[in-house]
A and B are shown apart, each in its own frame.
Chain A
Amino acid sequence: MSRIGILQIISFFIYLFYQVLILKNIVLFHSAFCFLYIAYLLLLPVETNPLFLMFMGFVMGFAVDVFYDSLGLHALACVFVMYVRNYWLNLLTPQGGYDTSAVPSLSMNGMQWFVVYAIPIVFLHHAILFFTEAGGFGLFWFTMLKIFVSTLFTVLAILIAQFLFPYRRRL
């Protein structure tokens, strides 16, 4: 087990427990949720095998689901987002391509690139999550409001976390 692998496992548990013990209690205005745990999935290295990505998405989503009593809900959204992630990264390839073992973080390509990378993925995740939870499009506008506000909140939290704990190149 390499050093990077151990660090990844530790950060997995930090994100998970931070989400289910602290952020679970923070809901602003009865509609803005913060799902910071997807930052862990967003920040997996660029060259990760897509099968492994989806597997990690499933494990993370499932673990969060057990605490939220919503079995399968977060897992569904996470697996979907992880499937899309690599295609999205390919579209956003910066000039000269990615370095080997590059991590798609704020410190790699700067604020603008990271926001463009993160917002659609977070939005997609929240859209799948809230519409599945609502069981269809019955409460369309209320659900849309929840999605928009929560996307804003989550992206803000991810950015703050990136500034507080900048992801160093670990080789």
Chain B
Amino acid sequence: MERLFYFLYRYRAFFTFLLLEVFCAWLIIENNQYQGAKFFNSSNSFVAGLNSFSQDVREYFLLRETNRMLAEENAALRNTLDQRTQVLNSTGITHPVDSSIIKRFSYVSAKVVNNSVHRFTNFLTIDKGSNEGLESGMAVINGAGIVGKIKTVSKHYSVVTSVLNKDVMISALLKSSGYYGTIQWDGYNPDIVQFKFIPRHVKPVVGDTIVTSGYNAVFPPGLMIGIIADVHLPDEALFYDLNVKLSQDFRRLAYVEVVKSNLKVEQDSLEQTIEVLNR
């Protein structure tokens, strides 16, 4: 026993080293999972407060660009609204069929206080949290397209897993032909994501639009993701290699909207019932 203690004491540096490294590795693994540590991330109010100060400074240099983007989005929304009203007027429908379908998604606007695009797993922090009714798993979008999914929330801030994260997969649709596949980022270029699982017999061409499919009730269907930049079909491969140019410039993200899906619980519980029946 004495010799054991002597041994431990003699190599105490090495054992401390081992202990700390194992603890760090545990933190990394724990934090990689969908919902990691709740407190030690940038939604913690002290860290987020500092970050939002730093973002406030940075924002002055991007004001012109942000203004232009918001004005463009406003114009586009006004156009859609106008067309909608005209269609409604001409067909004579004045009240919608089911109000709960119409109110299926509601939107909360939020400011980005922290953002990164240069790592393999990128996150952003926004300045709305559980006080505004946000929960983990909600979709985050803005005028130009999808942004990501909420990872954790605190009272006033939330951390969002960006689309530019190697571990995120999003169900997407080829708008022209309706075939669906998966969007995933390979870690190289923050402008380009990969569109996977499109079978050989489909004929995608450069310039085709990719939108969200709405199959998982997180993202509303038909949201812009990007356009195909480059089509490649290796011999003997089952699926195409498609590079998609994102419509969103993640480096200049300033304002985003969080999508609250009001029917998500209903859709999920219905799908779960089927899974239970199939078992």
Contact partner, B119, options A25, A58, A79, A133, Cβ 8 Å: A133
Q: Contact between B13 and A51 (Cβ–Cβ < 8 Å)?
A: yes
Is the beta-carbon distance between B119 and A54 smaller than 8 angstroms?
Answer: no
Distance in angstroms between the alpha carbons of A58 and B21 in the assembled complex: 9
- Number of B interface residues, CB 8 Å? 40
Q: B13 touching A75 by the CB < 8 A rule?
A: no
Neighbouring A residues of B171 by C-beta, 8 Å: none
A72 to B26, CA, bound (A): 8
B252 within 8 A of A: no
CB of A21, distance to nearest CB on chain B (Å): 5
Residues of A within 8 A of B51 (CB): 67
Binds A, one of B41-49, B197-205, B210-218: B41-49
Complex alpha-carbon distance, A134 and B267, angstroms: 35
Cα(A30)–Cα(B28), bound, Å: 24
* CA of A169 to CA of B186, assembled, Å: 48
Q: With the chains together, A38 CA to B7 CA distance in Å? A: 32
For residue A20, which residues in chain B have a CB less than 8 angstroms away from its CB? Answer: 50
Q: How far is the CA of A141 from the CA of B164 in the complex (A)?
A: 20
B15 CB to nearest chain A CB (Å): 10
B47 touching A66 by the CB < 8 A rule? yes
A113 at the A/B interface (Cβ < 8 Å)? no
The interface residues of chain B lying within 8 Å CB-to-CB of A72 are: 23-28, 30-31
Interface residues of B in 1-43 (CB under 8 A from A): 12-14, 16-17, 20-21, 23-28, 30-31, 36-37, 40-42
Alpha-carbon separation in the docked complex, A134 to B121 (Å): 8
B215: min CB distance to chain A, Å: 27
| Residue A44, interface by CB 8 Å | no
Distance in Å from the Cβ of B160 to the closest Cβ of chain A?
A: 10
The 8 Å CB contact of B28, one of A69, A73, A79, is A73
Chain A CB within 8 A of B187 CB: yes
The answer to whether B188 has its CB under 8 Å from any CB of chain A is yes
With both beta carbons as reference points, the residue of chain B lying nearest to A139 in the complex is identified as B187
**Once the chains are docked, how many angstroms separate the CA of A30 from the CA of B189?**
8
Chain A min CB distance to B26 (Å): 7
Is the beta-carbon distance between B42 and A69 smaller than 8 angstroms?
A: yes
* A55 CB to nearest chain B CB (Å): 8
- Given A25-B58, A58-B20, A135-B120, is A67 in contact with B27 using a C-beta cutoff of 8 Å? no
Residues of A within 8 A of B188 (CB): 139, 142
- A71 CA to B188 CA, complexed, in Å: 22
Report yes or no: B187 in contact with A30, Cβ–Cβ below 8 A: no
- Which residue of B is nearest A51, CB measured? B16
B83 touches A (CB below 8 Å)? no
> How does the 8 Å CB contact mask read for B69-99 relative to A, with 1 for contact and 0 for none?
0000000000000000000000000000000
A72-B28, A79-B17 known; A30+B41 contact, CB < 8 A: no
Known: A83-B13, A135-B166, A142-B188. A76 touches B54 (CB 8 A): no
A33 within 8 A of B: yes
Are the CB atoms of A79 and B41 closer together than 8 Å?
no
**A contact residues around B31 at 8 Å (CB):** 70-72
A-B contact pairs, 17 of them (CB 8 A): A20-B50, A24-B116, A27-B118, A30-B118, A50-B13, A51-B12, A61-B24, A66-B44, A69-B42, A69-B125, A69-B159, A71-B40, A72-B26, A75-B20, A83-B14, A139-B188, A142-B187
Task: Give 9 closest A-B pairs by Cβ, nearest first.
Answer: A72-B27, A76-B24, A72-B28, A71-B31, A50-B13, A72-B24, A69-B123, A83-B17, A27-B118
Further contacts, 12 of them, CB under 8 A, given A66-B47, A76-B25, A135-B166? A31-B118, A50-B13, A66-B42, A67-B47, A70-B119, A71-B28, A71-B36, A72-B23, A72-B25, A79-B17, A79-B24, A83-B13
